[in-house]
Amino acid sequence: MDTKSLTLLVEILDAGNLSEAARRLKMTRANVSYHLSQLERSVGMQLVRRSTRRVEATEIGLKLYQHGRSIQDELVAARESVQSLGKTPQGKVRLSVPSGYGQFVMTPWLLEFKRDYPDIVLDVLFENSVDDLLRDEVDIAVRIMSEPPQNLVARELGQVRYVACASRAYAEAKGLPAMPEDLARRPVISAAVIGRPLRLSAYYGGQPRQHVVLEPTVLSRNYAFLRDAMRAGLGVGIVPDYVVHEDVARGDLVQALADWRLSIFGRAMYMLYMPNRHHPRAIAMMIEYILQRAQAAHEGQPGLLGVSG
């Protein structure tokens, strides 16, 4: 086994399938498959499980992948150390952020980062699904979830506060829900996970947690659209506080169930990235930048994220 073999394994698993790996490596698919078979023969164990669409690492394959990735990262770090002497930071960061938090909170941070480091390329995806960082070639992902994946490094950015609110006109005409179960009989505006029911968890003091299954009448992963739907009086919205805080403060939206703690998709915001020992300089800078900005922005600020615990 040599570094070229490990590099091949890394490229295959990063690509997610042999065809994409062949395209990236500028090889034929048959050639990639042959070299992978030779590597498995030299190791004496299966390294990847093949299907018609994807390849996935076996336990030993994942260990070898991690070694190969570490070697690649060390080489990149060494190359960057030489190239960056006397130069401004360079490189590329592919960042995946939630549509709401990314748009309403992180956008000013990312623009400021780009102004400070103009030679770093930012590729920003606004999406809410929990993606496979290997498959989508994402360097850093920010996600709301209850428990982060065990195979990724997870840095908590804060606890998410959800609120239920509606337009003042809606509240005056139809009233606001007094209890969480009332939401099951109201037109609800919220994001949703495709193929799964929307379950609301509600907490009040020391009482047992309540569960309410919701059937929203306005659904979107675009939180700016959801906010507009609430403003238009189309129902009661259930969204993170940072989406509507300014609207509530101005009186454009009215909050319901203010004494309840609500949760839909998870209670914490995490920054996720691969557990590499060394990151390219641009990615390492972005990781630290997000952590610093999140800590400074959330500290004692209403409408953002609550303090963990």
Q: Where are the domains of the chain?
A: 3-83, 91-159+267-298, 162-263
The mean pLDDT value for 254-273 works out to 88
Contact between residue 105 and residue 298 where contact means Cβ atoms under 8 Å apart: no
Q: Which CATH number fits domain 3-83: 3.20.20.80, 3.60.20.10, 1.10.10.10, 3.40.50.720?
A: 1.10.10.10
Fold match, 3-83 / 162-263: no
pLDDT at 303: 53
Residue 308 predicted with pLDDT over 50: no
CA distance 176 to 142: 33
Is pTM beyond 0.75? Reply is no
pLDDT at 65: 85
The architecture (CATH level 2) of 91-159+267-298 comes to 3-Layer(aba) Sandwich (3.40)
Q: Which neighbouring-strand residues pair with 273?
A: 140, 153
Q: How high does pLDDT run on average in the chain? A: 84
Long-range contacts of 304-309 (CB under 8 A, 24+ apart): 304/105, 304/158, 304/241, 304/242, 304/245, 305/157, 305/158, 305/159, 305/160, 305/161, 305/242, 305/269, 306/158, 306/159, 306/160, 306/161, 307/158, 307/159, 308/156, 308/158, 308/159, 308/268, 309/159
pLDDT at 266: 76
pLDDT at 309: 40
Over the stretch 94-105, which tens digit does the pLDDT of each residue have? Answer: 999 988 889 888
pLDDT band with cut points at 50, 70 and 90 for residue 277: low
pLDDT at 195: 62
Give me the phi and psi of 191, to 5 degrees please: -80, 165
The mean pLDDT value for 180-193 works out to 89
pLDDT band with cut points at 50, 70 and 90 for residue 302: low
Residue 203 predicted with pLDDT over 70: yes
Contact between residue 11 and residue 55 where contact means Cβ atoms under 8 Å apart: no
pLDDT at 132: 58
Residue 231 predicted with pLDDT over 50: yes
pLDDT at 188: 94
**Fold of the 162-263 domain:** D-Maltodextrin-Binding Protein; domain 2 (3.40.190)
pLDDT at 136: 63
CA distance 64 to 50: 17
